[in-house]
Structure 1
C-alpha cells in the first residue's frame, strides 16, 4: 500500500508522535511505502528509502490557534493536490482541511470541555477567554474532521464515547489502545540514590505536567497528608511555573515529597519506586500509565483517566472520584501496608502491558488500513465496462 500519514511530529519521544512512529516502522516492515506530511520526523525515518518526508513549515503568526489553522490549510492543500498518489490517508484529529480514510482520535476537545473539570471561564480574564475560544474552535474543527473520515480510531473506549457523542456512528469507530515498550519499561534493580530518593520508605510515583490542574497532583498531596503509614512521593515533571512546591510546603510535606524535575530515564525511575499514582481528572489515554503497568508497578488511578479501562481488579486499583482524597489515601495505605498484595498487582499489571505492545498496536492500525484499502478498491471496480469514480 501507499500510505500517507499527516501529523505534526513523528518521533519516539513524543506521545502522539510515538504512535505514528511505530505505525511507520510496522508499515515499512510489511513492505508498504509511507509519505509523512509533518513539521518534524525522526532522522532514521527520513533516511529510509521507502519513506518520503514532506515538511510543512510552521507559521510565525501569533498564537497556537492561528498557527494550527495555517498548518491545517497547508496540509489540506497538499493532500488535495496529491490524493490520487495514495491508497490510505491517515490523519490525527483535526490537522488538515481535507478528507481522510483514517482519523486517529488522541484527544477530543468536546469531551474535555464537558467533562466537569474544564478550568477556564470565558469572562474570567483574557487568558481564560483565549483558552475557551481555542477549545470551542477545536471542537468545531474536530467535528468536521471526524465527519470527513471513513474510519475513526479512538485511543480508548473513553475517547470513543466522546467521538460518538459528536454524532459519529459506532460502525465507523474502531478503538486501538496506545502501545508501550515492554522491553524498555520492565522491572529491575532500584536506583533511588541516583534520583536522590530515600531508600527506606514505601515510594509512590506521580509523573505529569506540573502546571496543569487536570493531572491532579493536588489531590495526591492531600491524600498523603491523611495516610497513617510512612509513604513518600516522587514527583516527576517540569517544575518551572508549578504551584505545587508551595502547596507541599503549606501542607507540611517537605520531607515526604521529592521533586525530581524532568526525568529523561523514566524506566529507571519507575524501577526505583513501589507504586504509581495517576488520578487525572481528565485523560484520553495516558502513555505514562501504560509505562507503569509495563514496569510492573501496582497502579492507583481513577475512572476519569483514559487507560483505566484496561486495568482489572487483579492488576490495579481504579477509584470513582478523582477528587476524593480520603479514598485515595485508603488505597495508598492498602498498598503500603500489604507488600504481597502490591507485588501481585504489579505482576498482573505487567501481564496486561504485554497485550499492549507497540507492535500489537501498529499491527491493528495496518489491519484498519487493509480494510479501508479493500473497500476503496471494491468501490473502484469497473461497472458495465466503465470505471466507477472513487468517493471518499
Structure 2
C-alpha cells in the first residue's frame, strides 16, 4: 500500500512530529510505501528506499503562522490533487491541507481552545491575544470542515475525543483513541551526578518542564506553592528568553531555590536529577512530558486538565482538580515529601505505568486502523 502522510514535521524531539515518525517507521516495517509531504523530515528517513519526500518550502520564513499554514495547506493540496492516483491512503494532522484525507489524527482541538477560559484573549486583551483568537478561530472553522471530510479520526486522548464531540460536533463513533507513546530506552531511571549540574546531592528536587512564555503551563502556581514549601527546590526546563518567571521566583524570595536550566536536549538525563514531577497545566490535550517523566521513574503531580491523566494510576500520581488551587498543590507536595518510602514506591509504579505505553505499542495501533481503513475503502 502507498500511504501519504501530510504534516509539518516528522522527527524525534517534537511531540506531534515524533508520533508521525514512529507511525511511519511501523508502516515501513510492514512493507508499505510512504509519501511524506512536510517541511521537515528526519535525516535518517530522507534517503529511505520506501519513502518519497515532497518538501514544502520552509514556510516559517513567512511572517505570521496564519499565513505560513495557509500556504502549506494550499501547496500540499495542489500536489495531492495532481497525484491522487499515486496513493492509496492519505493521513493528516488536523487542518493541514485543503485536500480530503482518509485518516485525520488530532492532537489539539482548536474549537475547544477558542472556548477555553484559559485562552490568552480572556486573560489579557491586546493585539497579540487578539491575533491568537483570530488564528484559533479560523483554524477552528477549517478544522471542522477537514474532520467532516475524512473517513476516520484518531484522537490522542479521551479528553480530545470529548472535545471533538462537544466542540467540533463530530460523531463519537467516528473517533478512535490512541495515546501517545514514550521511548523507554531513552527515558528510564538512571543515576546522575547532581554536582555536574551544580545541584546539591542531599536536596529534594521537583521538576517542571514546558513553554515558559505560556501562562497555560501554569508555572506561576507552582512557584507560589514552592514559596510555601521550604524543604524542596525546583528545576525548571524551558527557554527563559522573554519569560517573566525568573523575576517572579526572585520576587517570591525563592530565586536561590529555583534552578532555570534553559532549553535542553538532554531532558532524559535531566529527568533523573529530580525526585518528582510537578505539572499542573491549565489545558493540555495530552502532554508527552508527563509520560516521559513517568518513564524516568518520577511520581507525578498534575491537573485534571491534562489528557495524559488517563494513563496515570493512583499509585503513581496525584491529580489536582483545579490547576490554580495553590493551597491543594502545597498540601500535596508536603504530603509526598513527608513519606520518602511512599515516594519511592510511586516512582516504581510510575515506570510500570509508562511501560504500557511504548512508541511501538502506539504505532502498531495506528497501523491497525490504517490497514483497516484501506481495506474498507477498496472493498
Contact 1:209–1:215 (CA under 8 A) maintained in structure 2: yes
State the superposition RMSD in angstroms: 1.3
Taking the aligned partners of 2:32 and 2:129, their CA distance within structure 1 comes to: 45
| Change beyond 3 A, Cα 1:122–1:189 | closer
CA distance in 2, matches of 1:128, 1:272: 36
What corresponds to 2:192 in structure 1?
A: 190
What is the Cα deviation at residue 282 of structure 1? 0.5
Matched, 1:262 2:263: yes
Q: Name the SS for the 1:313 alignment partner.
A: coil
Deviation at 1:121, TM superposition (A): 4.8
Q: Is the 8 A contact 1:105 1:152 kept in 2?
A: yes
Q: Deviations over 1:152-186 (max 9, x none)?
A: 11111111111112111111100110110011100
Q: Deviations 1:291-327 (Å, cap 9, x if unpaired)?
A: 0010011000000112011111112111100001110
Change (3 A) 1:123 1:335: closer
Report matched runs for 1:113-192 at 5 Å: 113-121=114-122, 124-165=125-166, 166-192=168-194
Cα separation, 1, equivalents of 2:304 and 2:338: 24
Aligned to 2:225: 223
Cα distance, 1:194 vs structure 2? 2.2
Using the TM superposition, give the Cα deviation of residue 345 of structure 1 relative to its aligned residue in structure 2, in angstroms.
Answer: 1.1
Partner of 1:208: 210
What TM-score do you get using the length of structure 1 for normalisation? 0.94
Give the whole-Å Cα distance in 1 for the aligned partners of 2:276 and 2:81.
Answer: 49
Identify unmatched segments of 5+ residues in structure 1.
379-392
1:254-333 paired onto structure 2 within 5 Å = 254-333=255-334
For residue 32 of structure 1, report the CA deviation from its aligned partner. Answer: 0.9
Q: Secondary structure at the match of 2:378?
A: helix
Distance 2:264 2:53 in 1: 30
Please state whether the residue corresponding to 1:204 is helix, strand or coil.
strand
Partner of 2:35: 35
Match of 1:108 in 2: 109
**TM-score scaled by length of structure 2:** 0.97
Q: What is the distance in 2 between the residues matched to 1:339 and 1:123?
A: 41
Partner of 2:75: 74
Aligned to 1:62: 63
Distance 1:220 1:127 in 2: 25
Query: How far is the alpha carbon of 1:62 from its aligned partner?
Result: 2.7
What residue is the counterpart of 1:22 in the other structure? 22
**Aligned-pair distance for 1:87?**
1.8
Aligned residues: 377
Give the whole-Å Cα distance in 2 for the aligned partners of 1:146 and 1:54: 23
Instruction: Give the SS at the match of 2:241.
Output: coil
Structure 2 stretches lacking a partner, 5+ long: none
Q: Distance in 1 between matches of 2:232 and 2:126?
A: 39
Distance 1:11 1:109 in 2: 23
**1:204: Cα distance to partner?**
0.2
Task: Give secondary structure in 1 for the equivalent of 2:255.
Answer: coil
Residue 243 of structure 2 is aligned to residue 242 of structure 1: yes
Q: Distance in 2 between matches of 1:210 and 1:294?
A: 23
Shift of 1:122: 11
C-alpha distance in 1 between matches for 2:116 and 2:123: 17
1:104 alignment partner, SS class: strand
Q: 1:121–1:129: 8 Å Cα contact kept in structure 2?
A: no
Q: CA shift at 1:115, angstroms?
A: 2.4
Displacement of 1:123 after TM fit? 9.0
State how far apart, in whole Å, the 1-side matches of 2:354 and 2:124 are. 44
Alignment check: 8 A CA contact 1:191 1:271 kept: no
Tell me, yes or no, if the aligned pair for 1:9 and 1:39 is still in contact at 8 Å. Answer: yes
